[in-house]
């Protein structure tokens, strides 16, 4: 039988705090996975495999990309939320149109308890 890796270190780990603004990483998207401290993603690049932490902003963009797709992740640096004043890492993800799933919209719950189907 063939052996299959089920977890652990997949490549060079990239910390967003040590990445310069407007840096781009391109490669084959390995999907999202849970790490010991939160969500991670793997990217198979020309320079070798890279592993990235996935903040919520990046996760929302990557959730729509098909595993195995060619993607480019651009780090837009630290930004500040105007309402809360909190800083966050900003990203922009691009992929071929055929590799992107339609955005899933949340549907509001029924207003009346009699409308709930269970």
How much is the pTM? 0.75
Query: Where are the extended beta strands (E) located within 1-118?
Result: 12-13, 23-35, 38-45, 48-53, 70-80, 87-95
Structure tokens at 31: 């999907």
Lowest mean pLDDT of 49-58, 73-82, 95-104, name the range. Answer: 95-104
Over residues 82-88, mean pLDDT: 90
Grouping H, G, I as helix, E, B as strand and the rest as coil, residue 76 is: strand
Give, as one character, the DSSP assignment of residue 117: -
Whether the predicted pLDDT of 118 surpasses 60: no
Whether the predicted pLDDT of 21 surpasses 90: yes
Banded model confidence at residue 37, pLDDT cuts 50, 70, 90: confident
Q: What does the pLDDT read at residue 2?
A: 61
Whether the predicted pLDDT of 10 surpasses 80: no
The topology under which CATH files domain 12-94 is OB fold (Dihydrolipoamide Acetyltransferase, E2P) (2.40.50)
Cα–Cα distance list, 43 to 1, 11, 14, 80, 112 (Å): 27, 8, 11, 27, 46
Grouping H, G, I as helix, E, B as strand and the rest as coil, residue 100 is: strand
User: Is the C-alpha dihedral spanning 71, 76, 78, 79 positive or negative?
Assistant: negative
């Amino acid at each position: 039988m063939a052996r299959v890796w089920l977890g652990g270190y997949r490549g060079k780990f990239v910390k967003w705090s040590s990445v310069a603004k407007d840096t781009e990483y391109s490669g084959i998207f390995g999907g999202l996975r849970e790490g010991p401290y939160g969500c991670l993603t793997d990217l198979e690049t020309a320079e070798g495999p890279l592993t990235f932490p996935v903040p919520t902003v990046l996760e929302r963009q990557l959730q729509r990309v098909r595993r195995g797709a060619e993607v480019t992740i651009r780090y837009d640096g630290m930004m500040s939320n105007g309402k809360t004043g909190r800083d966050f890492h900003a990203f922009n993800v691009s992929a071929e149109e055929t590799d992107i799933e339609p955005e899933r919209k949340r549907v509001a719950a029924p207003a009346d308890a009699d409308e709930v189907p269970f």
